[in-house]
Amino acid sequence: MPFKAKNAVAIAAGSILAVSFFADVNADYVLKYKRHTDQYTVSGKTVPASDATPVTTLAKDRCRIDQNADTAIIVRLDKNVVYYVNNKKKQYSEISLDAINKALDTAVSAKDQPSSQQEMPAMMAGMMKMMKMEATVTPTAQQKKIGAWNCTQYTVAQTIMMSTSNSEIWATTDVKIDPEFYAKFLSAPMFKMQGSEKIIAEMKKIKGVPVQITSTASVMNTEIKSSEELLDVSETNAAADLFEIPKGYKKIK
């Protein structure tokens, strides 16, 4: 499927925010989660319940999220680009973070142009409104042990794109990974969207690594319930080619 700008922002923003808690300057890490999504119905179509075990690999200035055997997202800050990889079809798409930022800047400046020249920028301004990002993180005093980790509870209310969600996050500081390192990802050009600075500041209120997340999201007037639980965190020496497009894959637009 073509990697449209709006889809790219949604995928990459979600992915980078998800990994913003984890990093270490002198090491690479692999994080394995189990994810469950309940059955839901949207536009008259029923989507069955699903389970997955996504794997995120984090390195100095790049990350890779293997959502399943067929699909991967690669964020390369050193190249200022996000790749969407379809292993099943041996295809990939890409978008420059600068290109997204330029489009958003064009939308902001639309109000200064004559009305005859405003149609396309106005469309971009509408897109910016749909990309609005907000979050409120509330720490609680609740604590419990999940697996091997001592955790603290946080509640999170979010608006990202045109969806809203309410989540309960249990995070641990038992895993000693420095979250400040991923400020590089959080300051990428794509995060110059309305509300981005506030959402980043809010998410930093969560201390440590999320171990268990339960969420209820509202998308197109449809309620979607999901959960994630950390299975394992391990230090690794990630191979460089893990963050490259495999040879023989065809680029699509």
Mind listing the pLDDT tens digit for each residue in 198-236? 777 787 888 888 899 999 999 888 999 999 999 998 888
Percent of residues, the chain, with pLDDT higher than 90: 42
Identify the residue with better confidence: 17 or 165. Answer: 165
Least Cα distance to 158 among 130, 133, 191 occurs for: 133
In this prediction, residue 162 carries a pLDDT of 72
Q: Are the beta carbons of 179 and 22 closer than 8 angstroms?
A: yes
Q: Which CATH number covers residue 21? A: 2.50.20.10
Quick one: 140 exposed, middle or buried, by C-beta within 10 A (0-12, 13-18, 19+)?
exposed
Q: Are the beta carbons of 116 and 107 closer than 8 angstroms?
A: no
Identify the residue with better confidence: 114 or 95. Answer: 95
Structural domain for 85, as ranges:
5-251
pTM of the model: 0.73
Please state the domain count of the chain: 1
Identify the residue with better confidence: 123 or 93. Answer: 93
In this prediction, residue 235 carries a pLDDT of 87
In this prediction, residue 183 carries a pLDDT of 42
pLDDT at 18 over 60: no
Average pLDDT over residues 14-20: 48
Structure-derived torsion over alpha carbons of residues 200, 98, 83, 206, reported in degrees to the nearest 10: -10
Indicate the helix (H) or strand (E) that contains 233: strand 222-236
pLDDT at 102 over 80: no
Least Cα distance to 154 among 168, 165, 134 occurs for: 168
| CA–CA separation, 209 and 101 (whole Å) | 29
Average pLDDT score over the chain: 77
Indicate the helix (H) or strand (E) that contains 98: helix 97-108
